[in-house]
Structure 1
């Protein structure tokens, strides 16, 4: 990745966490960091809030965020941009110049999951660039002091679909971190036969073939990234739940979303939808065919 890492900020604690994560990512890749703020009110009059005041606030936000990042990453090249127009549209245009777009996502509770704002969801659907969602409750910030986050990069795969872009991204991230890739495929059997004995029989009868297919699909990446340890897991169960459990102490979770033409546009499957709303670790969403 030679393009800059771009992070959108809005002054929230989540965007501060996103900026810090983006700075570390920029250093890992040896590319500049671009900090941007998009405000659809920057070009219009808002009752009670003058245009000049909005612009000054945005400028101060960008300067303050850049200064905070520079203190922790003094050698990192950083630039800032103030964007006008609707945030989703402005960030989509900005993402076209970026190698990676990073956004903050606000947490609600461990029960209800995370609130994914309309801008974040629009960005996931609109851009073909990788989008990373960062919480304030991430492995690096909110874990118990007795539990150190691993360098693992967890990636959800489907042996019935092409998932090359996901694996390329996951392996590159793991290589930069000197970590390992955990490739996970969750599968199940029809609900009408989901009793304990049927599940055990399915694992005995179908498990070996699924493991073989998964290993075969992953073989090109083993050869392409020989220095990266790869752990393969094919488990019976909900893919979303399996990924959430596997990513509890991971550095990054990588999932995909389908690129589709036509009136429906991009498609975010149920697994990706669940993961981006409930995973505390940073989540990278990768567009793929």
Structure 2
């Protein structure tokens, strides 16, 4: 069975943007598309049968709106839909269990434009075992290059880069591989970014390079970054790669590098028995503050 691209929809502008993004991604990946809507269920069905029935109607409307958006975006793409009953985050996680990619709208609860991800999106990202892409309603236009009709590689059309956040101390094949494949599918350039911190006067931190001048440290870190990516550049010779090692906070570097990008790819380490599932600080900041779609790729 071919793993689908799964998108959660709720009728909001963000979820419609997510549906459009997911449709284009399904075409690029030659995957089926599954639209899902999750709503809270009442366990004591005899008492709440009317309430359950009332929730199905708006769920149907949300799915219909998403289907219309998908048909407008990708007329030849076939999509299936489903209503999921249960607590929303667990229901979406179950839907993501066999997914190639899960796509969600990124919406903050506060109205502050600097806080983009809502509690449902964060809950899914923290626990999902497949890549999760968060899409903004106002960020959907920058979405790579459409697949060619004859199945050949897409032609570059001036869209933005795929940006990859790399930790040279803990580089993960799952994250790097996802970014290279995303760039290949879009005909886009891949920009790999590593942010390093200058050693303080007290002494060098763990893993810091003991060179005196910042410029020389930058050269060393850039060399490490290029070495980490070399095997992937050999595997994807048609993907243009730009590497950047910058002395800055990781979150600041990623927000800056992602301006005008098609996609930012970051990693998320899955804990074996998390007390409270959460993302790391860099990934958490990126999905709250970066304007382009953000792909969070889980890894061990």
- Give the structure-2-normalised TM-score: 0.85
Counterpart of 1:228 in structure 2 is 239
Specify whether residues 255 and 166 from structure 1 end up closer, same or farther in structure 2 by C-alpha distance, changes over 3 A only.
Answer: same
User: Which secondary structure does the structure 1 equivalent of 2:27 belong to?
Assistant: helix
Q: Write the mapping of 1:111-126 to structure 2, written as runs, cut at 5 A.
A: 113-126=114-127
Specify whether residues 63 and 246 from structure 1 end up closer, same or farther in structure 2 by C-alpha distance, changes over 3 A only.
Answer: same
Conserved 8 A contact 2:19-2:69: no
Conserved 8 A contact 1:44-1:51: no
Deviation per CA, 1:120-152, whole angstroms, max 9, x where unpaired? Answer: 1111111110000001121617xxxxxx97241
Conserved 8 A contact 2:16-2:69: no
Matched, 1:218 2:229: yes
Counterpart of 2:82 in structure 1 is 81
Q: What is the aligned counterpart of 2:159 among 134, 150, 153?
A: 150
Q: Which runs of 5+ in 2 are unaligned?
A: 143-156, 203-210
Counterpart of 2:194 in structure 1 is 185
Specify whether residues 34 and 44 from structure 1 end up closer, same or farther in structure 2 by C-alpha distance, changes over 3 A only.
Answer: farther
The separation in 1 between residues aligned to 2:213 and 2:103, in whole angstroms, is: 41
User: Which secondary structure does the structure 2 equivalent of 1:106 belong to?
Assistant: coil
The separation in 2 between residues aligned to 1:181 and 1:62, in whole angstroms, is: 34
The separation in 1 between residues aligned to 2:139 and 2:248, in whole angstroms, is: 25
Deviation per CA, 1:90-116, whole angstroms, max 9, x where unpaired? Answer: 111110111100010125799751242
- Give the structure-1-normalised TM-score: 0.88
User: Which secondary structure does the structure 2 equivalent of 1:136 belong to?
Assistant: coil
The separation in 1 between residues aligned to 2:199 and 2:214, in whole angstroms, is: 13
The separation in 2 between residues aligned to 1:235 and 1:184, in whole angstroms, is: 8
Specify whether residues 42 and 184 from structure 1 end up closer, same or farther in structure 2 by C-alpha distance, changes over 3 A only.
Answer: same
Specify whether residues 123 and 133 from structure 1 end up closer, same or farther in structure 2 by C-alpha distance, changes over 3 A only.
Answer: same
The separation in 1 between residues aligned to 2:111 and 2:53, in whole angstroms, is: 40
The separation in 2 between residues aligned to 1:236 and 1:111, in whole angstroms, is: 29
Matched, 1:170 2:170: no
Matched, 1:39 2:39: yes
Which region of structure 1 is more displaced relative to structure 2, 232-241 or 130-139? 130-139
Counterpart of 1:15 in structure 2 is 15
The separation in 2 between residues aligned to 1:44 and 1:151, in whole angstroms, is: 50
Counterpart of 1:269 in structure 2 is 280
Specify whether residues 288 and 26 from structure 1 end up closer, same or farther in structure 2 by C-alpha distance, changes over 3 A only.
Answer: same
Specify whether residues 163 and 266 from structure 1 end up closer, same or farther in structure 2 by C-alpha distance, changes over 3 A only.
Answer: farther
Conserved 8 A contact 1:104-1:134: yes
The separation in 1 between residues aligned to 2:88 and 2:194, in whole angstroms, is: 35
- Report the alpha carbon displacement of residue 259 of structure 1 after superposing the two structures with TM: 1.4
User: Which secondary structure does the structure 2 equivalent of 1:250 belong to?
Assistant: coil
Deviation per CA, 1:171-190, whole angstroms, max 9, x where unpaired? Answer: 10100100111000000124
Q: Which runs of 5+ in 1 are unaligned?
A: 142-147, 194-199
RMSD: 2.7
Specify whether residues 6 and 139 from structure 1 end up closer, same or farther in structure 2 by C-alpha distance, changes over 3 A only.
Answer: closer
- Report the alpha carbon displacement of residue 72 of structure 1 after superposing the two structures with TM: 2.5
Deviation per CA, 1:158-178, whole angstroms, max 9, x where unpaired? Answer: 110032111100010100100
The separation in 1 between residues aligned to 2:248 and 2:10, in whole angstroms, is: 38
Counterpart of 1:145 in structure 2 is none
| Deviation beyond 3 Å, 4+ runs, structure 1 | 41-47, 107-112, 190-193, 263-267
Counterpart of 1:208 in structure 2 is 219
Aligned length: 278
Deviation per CA, 1:57-104, whole angstroms, max 9, x where unpaired? Answer: 212221232123113311001000000000111111110111100010
